[in-house]
Amino acid sequence: MQDTRQRILKIIEERGEATVKELSEALGLTSVTIRHHLEILKREGYVSAPQIRRSSKPGRPRYVYCLAPRAVDLFPSNYNGLADSLLTALESHLPPEERRRILETVGKTMAAQVGPLPQEREARIQAVLEYMKQLGFTASVEKVGEDRYRLSISHCPYRRVSRLHPETCYVDETMLSVLTGGKLHRLSGERAGEDHLCSYEIILGE
């Protein structure tokens, strides 16, 4: 990654959030240059869209940038190690059926955090897709029939863990089923031992 963009991400990571002005002052670059790099980082999924921070004092609101979930992998952490240890412990103490119920409960909990979604099908599917992007997924949806959609995932934030513990996919599958209100049928992916996109057919109305 280009050095300036790495420095931008590092500043946001250290501060939690930053404005264009703050980044400009910290790096000694013009606001135009900072906005250019932020737009690239947003397009690549490393920073979120600017959020408004309003102050009780008079004046214009501040627009801040935060790291998107995908950017976590760029900084040293042991989230994967923790997840691996937790799942290994589950495997050691619980039968497969009980582990699956626990992971499905996690998926339902994540879905419950989203809040109300549009009732209209197309709008709902797009809202779910946007939420997935916020979680760090790179995904796309294609309508393939009256009540059928194909969801293709090319980047999964849990990929490293799911390679060791394929049942991790139950979390996402449950979450997506709840959010879309449909049935998911896996077409391909890591859980099937394949090394390409994770693909699902979403069937609504079942």
What distance in Å separates the CA atoms of residue 106 and residue 110, rounded to the nearest whole number?
Answer: 6
Q: List phi, psi (to 5°) of 34.
A: -60, -45
Span(s) in the chain for CATH 1.10.10.10:
3-74
Mean pLDDT of the chain: 85
Most confident stretch, 24-28, 48-52, 54-58, 92-96: 24-28
Whole-number pLDDT of residue 195: 43
Q: How many CB atoms lie within 10 A of CB 173?
A: 19
Beta carbons of 131 and 153 less than 8 angstroms apart = no
Residue 138 vs residues 10, 55, 153, 196: alpha-carbon distances, Å: 22, 34, 6, 13
What distance in Å separates the CA atoms of residue 40 and residue 17, rounded to the nearest whole number?
Answer: 17
What digits encode the pLDDT tens for the residues 156-173?
A: 888 878 888 889 899 999
Fold of the domain built from segment(s) 94-204: Muramoyl-pentapeptide Carboxypeptidase; domain 2 (3.30.1380)
Greater pLDDT, 188 or 141: 141
Measured in residues, the chain has a length of 206
Beta carbons of 141 and 148 less than 8 angstroms apart = no
CATH code of the domain occupying 3-74: 1.10.10.10
- The structure tokens listed for 110 are 């994540």
Span(s) in the chain for CATH 3.30.1380.20:
94-204
**Does 60 have pLDDT greater than 60?**
yes
